[in-house]
Structure 1
Amino acid sequence: MNGTLSLAAKHGPSYKWLVGITCMLGTFMEVLDTSVANVALPHIQGNFAAGTDEITWVITSYLVANAIVLPITGWLANQFGRKRFYLVCLAVFTLASLASGLAPTLWFLILMRVIQGLAGGAMVPMSQAITLDAFPEEEKGYGAALYGMGAICGPIAGPLLGGWLTDNWSWPWIFYINIPAGLIAFYMAYTLIEDPPYLEKPEGRVDWQSLVFIAVGLGCLEVFLNRGDRYDWFESTFIQVFAGTAFLGLALFIWRSFTAENPLVDLRVFKLREFSSGMILIFLASFGMYGAFVCLPLFVQTLLNYTPTWAGIILAPAGVASIVAMGLAGASAGRVDVRILVGTGFAALIISMWMLTHLSLGVGISWMIIAWIFQGFGLGLVLVPLATETIIRVPPKLIGVSSGMFNLLRNEGGSVGIAICTTILTQRAQFHHARLAEWITPYNPVAQHGLVAMTAGLYPRAGMDPLTTGKLSVGLVGGEVTRQAFVMSFNDVFAFIVLVFVVAVPFVLFCKSPGKRQAGAVMVH
């Protein structure tokens, strides 16, 4: 307590901002690494002569490790001390990043990604808890805004930065960039962060059963979500086994959490209506956010032939819009009803996705940028109030648990969103292709007239005989049918995300503003 007071007195009003920037840097590093490797996978695959199924574990292993550690971060921070545990995580994450860049084999790289995911996953909820503790009650919105900048800007910057580094340097540099950032964050955290006075070491022995259940359940769930589409979901025995194991592990974990004398994760926090509704909202917001993050770059690169750099340019303005929105939300915390802020945010998200349901092969870049600006602005208005109000409702000693669950549902919402959106994309593309191809038959005079006209136009230019030119015309028409089918499937995906955001709106009514932590403490106990 005295250490914290002396640090605050030494740095004055700037202390809370220094702590917030320190934690934001850690959050940004971790979230960045969830997406920075995606664009470098072909280069890594070529370097290690790996198969497609093998190389995707570079991504999947990181997400699995993230999911396992997030819900138990609060317990670990209480057990070892928040500052000490945070510093260890920063150090391990930085060293694992160095080792990932130096990896001699693919499986060594995957092992380092697991270690990265464990250390980085624990950093994010601690960053949120430490930041909110550093700000006084009336300014916690600003703290949530700083945390949100790292959480939202990381996925936006990841593909752009990863593509640029891979193209201009080499793929190991997507990991090396964490080293200077990690050293700076470690020094700042060591200098500025102190454990809060209310932090207590958990009583009794570790509930190892809960730890095993949550590790198995969440680990298998991530494998199920990330590999399901590749193996055609429940048509695969592999996926069936992981889905069943995930369900069993999570069910046993929930049972153990309510029956153990000293549970690893105190799920009583979900008795708070505002906290539960906030968890649902962050899950649904992340569902749409990550689903759109995957689909829009995929659309512009595969169908419009944009380079990764130009795909990043489309996404970049959303980061600026998010920062503006988070600043507004932080300044409005405690002054404007949180339901107004979050409701406005979801309205902006719905407008964004509705605009993207009108994509075509002739769509202008300005239309996509404007749509994505709405996306960034909406996420900023949603994330900051939820990150503030869902945490402020719980007793101080449960802030680590609530931060862990908040970030777990943010991550899992993203994983579920990506899995479902990519599945819809694949299945609807097949559906639309079959429907469009029904019209390209010898019995459709319009289609035959078009083929004859195309063949006549190509014949004098192609320098081929009429038969070969006719086959070329059929191939071109088939390719166009495939492209149009995928355009229609992308529109279907964004329409589905609109529906997800609409479903989220009623849960906004369960939020309250302004919130008081003491009220939450009474309700939980």
Structure 2
Amino acid sequence: MSPPPDHSLPALRERYGERYRWLLLLSVMVGTMAAIMSSTIINVAIPDMSHHFALGQERAQWVTSGFMVAMTVSMLTTPWMLARYGYRRTYVGCMWLLMAGGLAGGFASTYPLVLAARVAEGLAAGVVQTIPAIIILRAFAPNEQGRASGIFGMGVVLAPAVGPSIGGLLVDGFGWRSIFFMVVPFCLASFWLAHRFVPTSSPGGTSANPQGSGLDWRGLLLAAAGTLCLLNGLVELHGGTATAAGALLGGAVLALVAFVALERRTLQNRRQHPDQGVDPLMNLSLFKNRLFTMGSIVAFIYGIALFGSTYLLPVYMQSGLGLSASHVGTILLPAGLVLAVVIAGVGRLADRQPTRRLVSIGLLLLSASFALMVTIDPGRPAQIIPLLVTWAIVGRIGLGFILPSLNIGAMRDLDRADIAQGASVISFLRMLGGSAGVSLCGIVLEWRLAAHGAQLATGGVATPARVTAFEETFLMLAAICALALTAALRLKATSKPQASQ
């Protein structure tokens, strides 16, 4: 009986030659497309789901926020999972969990079950979305990393570009449940690709070590508790009591202080006793690198604006302007296609142009797209859709400048051994910002609606008060993007990038 084929990284490289790194990138791209689709496409179904379960705005937004919290926290576990179980077992296990969450959410009969399914999807998506950046920085030479990131990004953004259009039609034709089933074919394809091209080894080409360092459970629990306190504290700032909000936000601060102290002590113990203890969930020594620190700040603020707007824009078009779910998908489709083209072109520029220049241009365009939303006048219905399409395209061009540049640029000064940790931290901070951004948009929107004496309503005729509340929320996002420019202008590498291995 012949031995099973060798699926270690060196063996796969030898089997497939120079094209292997692109086949590996394609394999993880399919899973990432499913993860990103599951995180964004649900927004098209929120109004219909809210009506089905008779949910208020605060409870409905937890369909998105619950996913974001789970995804944010699980990102920190990626380096440990890859070292302990290897790329393939980690990736395939997460894709099984993502598919199970999609099926459970589609068949759920109560809102708590829907929320549980979204949490399961978020846990899987967090780990899956961190892996591609590690592969690009380890498998590709420095002069190919921008190109690889651009091609990967082009493929990944096509899913959320086409997804809302298909999702809008599905919601109108079959209801909100159909949205959950869209990840299933992507998950099935990812299983086949993973079996052929994803290595069983861990980052660096070494064998996975199931008996290796344990998980930093205390750090993980503190990170989860702090994130939950932060988001619930933001919700309590509006619609709750000042005492509850203060207690929750104070708890978030205490969790942060305890987390930093714990991670410092864990890192110190690991250095003193390399063969004992656990690796820190977050290696805080990475922040001694200025480029990485500035990139982390940009990633956090950018996450607030990106995910906040991803939640806000479909709600604005449906509840603010009275458009149908299918209209929302059609309006967002051209912007998504433009993003796919821009991101591929900017990926090539990222190998030659300074990171700070590309990221700053992107932030300016993204901020402008939010600010220009105030030019949409419901009293002129013929202009609504053209302006929505135009401003969405401007914002997506901005994203096209940011996405291929930020992760790679922020980690180019790191040692190769720190790449997995760096990718995990950057992803965590971006998603933490995104989780806060979704809550922040919901809070500011409800605050401004109450200030103008308006309420959300799906469909119907747009009212000036309701539209004004949305416009003020968009201006808040524009200001946040402008704030990120101060850190983006300092994204300057201090050393040459290291060659791939």
Q: Specify the TM-score bucket, using the shorter chain as the normaliser.
A: 0.7 to 0.9
Alpha carbons of structure 1 residues 349 and 109: separation in structure 2 relative to 1, 3 Å:
closer
1:491-520 CA distance string (max 9 Å, x none): 32233323222222222222125963459x
Residue number in structure 2 paired with 1:508:
488
- Preserved contact between residue 65 and residue 438 of structure 2 (Cα < 8 Å): no
- The reply to whether residue 255 of structure 1 matches residue 257 of structure 2 is no
Separation in structure 2 between the aligned mates of residue 496 and residue 106 of structure 1, nearest angstrom: 31
Q: Give the C-alpha shift of residue 69 in structure 1.
A: 1.0
Separation in structure 2 between the aligned mates of residue 409 and residue 509 of structure 1, nearest angstrom: 19
Match of 1:398 among 418, 424, 428: 418
Match of 1:141 among 146, 151, 157: 146
- Preserved contact between residue 19 and residue 131 of structure 1 (Cα < 8 Å): no
Residue number in structure 1 paired with 2:9:
4
1:39-69 CA distance string (max 9 Å, x none): 4345556666778776655434322211221
- The reply to whether residue 245 of structure 1 matches residue 225 of structure 2 is no
Aligned alpha-carbon RMSD (Å): 3.1
Paired amino acid for 2:404? V
- The reply to whether residue 103 of structure 1 matches residue 108 of structure 2 is yes
- Preserved contact between residue 412 and residue 493 of structure 2 (Cα < 8 Å): no
Q: Give the C-alpha shift of residue 377 in structure 1.
A: 0.7
Separation in structure 2 between the aligned mates of residue 158 and residue 255 of structure 1, nearest angstrom: 42
Separation in structure 1 between the aligned mates of residue 464 and residue 110 of structure 2, nearest angstrom: 41
Residue number in structure 2 paired with 1:489:
469
Unaligned runs of 5+ in 1: 435-478, 520-525
Alpha carbons of structure 1 residues 304 and 236: separation in structure 2 relative to 1, 3 Å:
same
Q: Give the C-alpha shift of residue 372 in structure 1.
A: 1.3
Match of 2:92 among 76, 87, 92: 87
- Preserved contact between residue 87 and residue 189 of structure 1 (Cα < 8 Å): yes
Question: Alignment partner of 1:360: what SS?
Answer: coil
Separation in structure 2 between the aligned mates of residue 53 and residue 138 of structure 1, nearest angstrom: 46
Q: Give the C-alpha shift of residue 99 in structure 1.
A: 2.9
- The reply to whether residue 499 of structure 1 matches residue 499 of structure 2 is no
Instruction: Please say which of residues 16-25 and 34-43 is displaced more in the overlay.
Output: 34-43
Paired amino acid for 1:34? S
Paired amino acid for 1:110? L
Residue number in structure 2 paired with 1:454:
none
1:405-453 CA distance string (max 9 Å, x none): 222222222222233333333333444559xxxxxxxxxxxxxxxxxxx
Residue number in structure 2 paired with 1:341:
358
Paired amino acid for 2:414? V
Separation in structure 1 between the aligned mates of residue 134 and residue 194 of structure 2, nearest angstrom: 14
Separation in structure 1 between the aligned mates of residue 480 and residue 100 of structure 2, nearest angstrom: 39
- The reply to whether residue 38 of structure 1 matches residue 43 of structure 2 is yes
Question: Alignment partner of 2:463: what SS?
Answer: helix
Separation in structure 2 between the aligned mates of residue 156 and residue 334 of structure 1, nearest angstrom: 25
- Preserved contact between residue 283 and residue 413 of structure 1 (Cα < 8 Å): yes
1:44-443 matches, within 5 Å, as 44=49, 57-149=62-154, 152=157, 156-157=161-162, 159-194=164-199, 195=201, 196-197=203-204, 204-225=213-234, 227-228=235-236, 232-235=239-242, 237=244, 239-260=245-266, 261-262=269-270, 263-361=280-378, 362=380, 363-432=383-452
Paired amino acid for 1:130? I
1:219-245 CA distance string (max 9 Å, x none): 3334444x446x5255363x4443333
Q: Give the C-alpha shift of residue 144 in structure 1.
A: 1.9
- Preserved contact between residue 29 and residue 155 of structure 2 (Cα < 8 Å): yes
Separation in structure 2 between the aligned mates of residue 54 and residue 294 of structure 1, nearest angstrom: 14
Alpha carbons of structure 1 residues 350 and 217: separation in structure 2 relative to 1, 3 Å:
closer
Separation in structure 1 between the aligned mates of residue 189 and residue 356 of structure 2, nearest angstrom: 37
Separation in structure 2 between the aligned mates of residue 370 and residue 419 of structure 1, nearest angstrom: 26
Paired amino acid for 1:141? G
Q: Give the C-alpha shift of residue 78 in structure 1.
A: 1.6
Larger Rg: 1
Alpha carbons of structure 1 residues 514 and 366: separation in structure 2 relative to 1, 3 Å:
farther
- Preserved contact between residue 334 and residue 513 of structure 1 (Cα < 8 Å): no
Question: Alignment partner of 1:289: what SS?
Answer: helix
Instruction: Please say which of residues 64-73 and 153-162 is displaced more in the overlay.
Output: 153-162
Paired amino acid for 2:401? L
Paired amino acid for 1:235? A
Separation in structure 1 between the aligned mates of residue 230 and residue 451 of structure 2, nearest angstrom: 28
1:88-130 CA distance string (max 9 Å, x none): 1112222332233233544344333322221221111023212
Paired amino acid for 1:353? F
